[in-house]
Chain A
Amino acid sequence: MTTVLKAPTLRPTRSKATGRKNWGYTALAILFLAIMLFPVYWMVNASLQPNGTTLETSWLPLKPDFTGYATAINEQAGNLGTSLVISLGSVALSLAIAAPAAYALAYFKVRGAGVVLFAILISQMIPGIVVANALYTAYNDLGLLNSIPGLILADSAHGIPFAILIIRAFMNGMPASVIEAARVDGAGHVRAFWSIVIPLSRNSLITAGLFTFLFAWSDFLFALTLTTTEAVRPVTLGIFQYIGAYVNDWSSVMATAVLASIPAIVLLVAAQKYIAAGTTGGAVK
């Protein structure tokens, strides 16, 4: 019950035109893009405006002013660090759990694989608030509230099912003969997995890792519900607290928003091919 994950390559799209350059369509597409990305532009623009209650933000940041960033870094640097630690921890945990599981599902075809996959699909349907509700009481008993490990564990709930699906889809396409050859040569399961399967699946692991990072970095619900003090505060919660009150210093809020967007923007620009492979990941399975 799977479709092989294909990175949408740039194969020639359908058109009646015989390969003629259609710059007119490009212009139209750029117009769409400009409309869709206006909020992103506005965020950057507003973050470069001088502080204070300027009622008229200028349409262009002709006189860039970095006081917003100074305030943001001053107040949110610790929170950005917290977010980074949690996200990296979540990537490590998710890959450590998801990669062996994906291998078992794809290569061993263990009995019960269907049940596991079904559980993964259903898990996507469970509202976060339901999980948070139960975790809060459990964390309260276990002393995991306001802790980095607690948030790493909770945030991986987005990443692990997704990572299993992505990596498994890739491993399904891996030639079994390679692994069997290693097994015949006397490599144990663990060794075959570690020295052959993992290197071969590198790209899918990177894709899964990048998305897991993004999920944990963007998490807001668990940050909101599983922390009660300033001690451990991801940047998403920092932003929420900025906008929860009456805001009169939008340039600092927007500067923080820009800083919190950096991972997403970097991924989109630098890791294009991995992102393309991931976008269709959890969907049509």
Chain B
Amino acid sequence: MSLTTDLSQTAARSTGKAKAKSGRPAGSPTEAQKPRRRTRQRRERIFQWLFLVPAVVYMALFFGYPVVKNVVMSFQDYTTATFFTGEAPWVGLANYVTVLSSSLFSTSLLNTALFTIGSILGQFVIGLALAIFFQRKFPLNGILRSLLLLPWLLPLIVSSAVWRWILDKDSGALNRFLGDLGIVDTGVPWLTSTSLALIAVVGVNIWIGIPFNLTILYGGLQEIPDELYEAGSLDGATGWKAFRHITWPMLRPVVSVVLVLGVVYTLKVLDIILGLTNGGPANSTQTIATQSYDLSFHEFKFGEGAALGNVLVIISLVFAVLYLRASRRAVDE
């Protein structure tokens, strides 16, 4: 769709809306005035578009181009040699075959799924519980609720560093706390054992995601009219019943948006995993995102890194479609 034809079409199809905008009564102009007005309207349209051009250019360069470039690179043998020779031979689907058939891929795919599902479940359930709790009226409610945002506002790499210290095997705060309570007697290797590292990373990601879920769900709960609860309580719907038959159905559009956004954000998480475990130990916290990073920036196989990145894009897009449907429904209702 080229911009110019689009503009000329709109100019040709100029309606009464533009007339109303031009601030004069929409009378019937004389025949002589019409062509002049048309050029003025076209000028107007172009002018209006100029406000949008920088943003469109930026989005094209920093989102459009990378996506296209990644598709192209994924069919090329793109390595450090390319930077010197300028050549990236076409290799067809070889990168995809290499990446998808490697034993590491199934590990990262499984880890990505576990990491995403675990994080979302934890964030959502705790976020919703807190949102419902904060519906109650008590002193300092607003201040406490906003202070809860802090984990979400901190740079992710800062959170990773702090948690790395808390989860330290020998002198971390968590092990000392558990040790003092007599729950464990030796240091638990939270980040250095293959069986625990993924659980620890999920735990940290849940901590980071709770504020976001709390805020959005709290907003959704506030939108539910009081009358419904009043009517419900007359029919004997209180507590759990009220939640099941009033809160949950009314909150559903917001819930679906939160869940899908959560999934999309969690799929691309990189900072936290790199900061806490760097994908280790023995790839036990390697996800598709971290593996794509490794392929490109440690092994300098940019073609394979791009191929794996595209797999991630496709998975995200599936959820993006769900998101758009959910948000549309949320608005319609």
Report the minimum CB–CB distance from B170 to chain A (whole Å): 7
Does B188 sit at the interface, judged by CB under 8 A? Answer: no
Report the minimum CB–CB distance from A63 to chain B (whole Å): 18
Residues of A within 8 A of B159 (CB): 39
Q: Complex Cα distance A271/B163, Å?
A: 27
Residues of A within 8 A of B176 (CB): 56
- A101, A125, A136, A242: the one within 8 Å of B54 (CB): A101
Contact call A130/B162, Cβ cutoff below 8 A: no
Report the minimum CB–CB distance from B237 to chain A (whole Å): 14
Chain B window 52-65, contacts with chain A (Cβ cutoff 8 Å), 1 for yes, 0 for no: 10111011001111
Q: Complex Cα distance A125/B133, Å?
A: 31
Does A97 sit at the interface, judged by CB under 8 A? Answer: yes
Residues of B within 8 A of A75 (CB): none
Q: Complex Cα distance A98/B146, Å?
A: 27
Q: Complex Cα distance A129/B298, Å?
A: 13
Closest to A164 in B: B55
Residues of A within 8 A of B147 (CB): 33, 37, 268
Report the minimum CB–CB distance from B58 to chain A (whole Å): 6
Report the minimum CB–CB distance from A39 to chain B (whole Å): 5
Instruction: Known contacts A37-B147, A119-B63, A265-B150; decide if A183 and B275 are in contact (CB<8 Å).
Output: no
Q: Which B residues, 33 to 58, have Cβ-Cβ distances below 8 Å to chain A?
A: 45, 47-49, 51-52, 54-56, 58
Q: Complex Cα distance A25/B69, Å?
A: 54
Chain A at the B interface: mostly helix, strand, loop or mixed? helix
Q: Complex Cα distance A279/B215, Å?
A: 7
Q: Which B residues, 273 to 313, have Cβ-Cβ distances below 8 Å to chain A?
A: 274-275, 278, 289, 292-293, 296-297, 302, 305-306, 309-310, 312-313
Q: Complex Cα distance A133/B299, Å?
A: 13
Does A221 sit at the interface, judged by CB under 8 A? Answer: yes
Instruction: Known contacts A33-B148, A39-B166, A243-B164; decide if A133 and B73 are in contact (CB<8 Å).
Output: yes
Contact call A110/B66, Cβ cutoff below 8 A: no
Report the minimum CB–CB distance from A270 to chain B (whole Å): 12
Contact call A240/B151, Cβ cutoff below 8 A: no
Contact call B327/A285, Cβ cutoff below 8 A: yes
Residues of B within 8 A of A220 (CB): 155-157, 270-271, 274-275
Residues of A within 8 A of B296 (CB): 129, 132-133, 136, 225
Q: Which B residues, 201 to 235, have Cβ-Cβ distances below 8 Å to chain A?
A: 207, 210, 212, 215-216, 218-220, 222, 226, 229
Chain B window 149-174, contacts with chain A (Cβ cutoff 8 Å), 1 for yes, 0 for no: 11101111111111111100011010
Q: Complex Cα distance A125/B312, Å?
A: 10
Q: Which A residues, 136 to 158, have Cβ-Cβ distances below 8 Å to chain B?
A: 136-138, 140, 153-154, 156-157
- A3, A104, A265: the one within 8 Å of B52 (CB): A104
Q: Complex Cα distance A193/B48, Å?
A: 11
Contact call B155/A160, Cβ cutoff below 8 A: no
Report the minimum CB–CB distance from B105 to chain A (whole Å): 15
Q: Complex Cα distance A153/B55, Å?
A: 12
Contact call B49/A110, Cβ cutoff below 8 A: yes
Contact call B153/A26, Cβ cutoff below 8 A: no
Report the minimum CB–CB distance from A171 to chain B (whole Å): 12
Does A166 sit at the interface, judged by CB under 8 A? Answer: no
Residues of B within 8 A of A260 (CB): 155, 157-158
Residues of A within 8 A of B149 (CB): 268, 275, 279
Contact call A240/B136, Cβ cutoff below 8 A: no
Contact call A130/B141, Cβ cutoff below 8 A: no
Does A10 sit at the interface, judged by CB under 8 A? Answer: yes
Closest to A276 in B: B146
Instruction: Known contacts A29-B134, A29-B144, A240-B274; decide if A134 and B65 are in contact (CB<8 Å).
Output: yes
Q: Complex Cα distance A238/B296, Å?
A: 21
Residues of A within 8 A of B31 (CB): none
Contact call A97/B162, Cβ cutoff below 8 A: no
Does A135 sit at the interface, judged by CB under 8 A? Answer: yes
Contact call A40/B66, Cβ cutoff below 8 A: no
Q: Complex Cα distance A220/B64, Å?
A: 21
Contact call A55/B171, Cβ cutoff below 8 A: yes
Q: Complex Cα distance A183/B320, Å?
A: 40
Q: Complex Cα distance A280/B213, Å?
A: 10
Report the minimum CB–CB distance from A105 to chain B (whole Å): 7
Contact call B222/A240, Cβ cutoff below 8 A: no
Contact call A126/B67, Cβ cutoff below 8 A: yes
Residues of B within 8 A of A70 (CB): none
Report the minimum CB–CB distance from B276 to chain A (whole Å): 9
Residues of B within 8 A of A36 (CB): 148, 150-151, 207, 210
Does B197 sit at the interface, judged by CB under 8 A? Answer: no
Residues of B within 8 A of A29 (CB): 133-134, 138, 140-141, 144-145
Contact call A111/B258, Cβ cutoff below 8 A: no
Residues of B within 8 A of A30 (CB): 140, 144
Does A92 sit at the interface, judged by CB under 8 A? Answer: no
Report the minimum CB–CB distance from B69 to chain A (whole Å): 4
Q: Complex Cα distance A221/B289, Å?
A: 11
Q: Complex Cα distance A220/B317, Å?
A: 24
Closest to A259 in B: B158
Q: List 10 A-B contacts (CB under 8 A).
A: A8-B222, A13-B135, A37-B150, A39-B159, A133-B70, A214-B153, A220-B155, A220-B275, A239-B157, A284-B254
Known: A25-B138, A125-B317, A257-B162. 20 other contacts (CB 8 A): A3-B331, A13-B135, A37-B151, A42-B166, A43-B162, A100-B51, A108-B51, A122-B317, A124-B264, A129-B289, A132-B296, A134-B73, A180-B23, A220-B157, A240-B275, A276-B146, A280-B219, A283-B257, A284-B216, A284-B327
In the A-B complex, the 6 residue pairs with the closest CB atoms: A101-B55, A134-B66, A218-B155, A25-B138, A127-B268, A104-B51
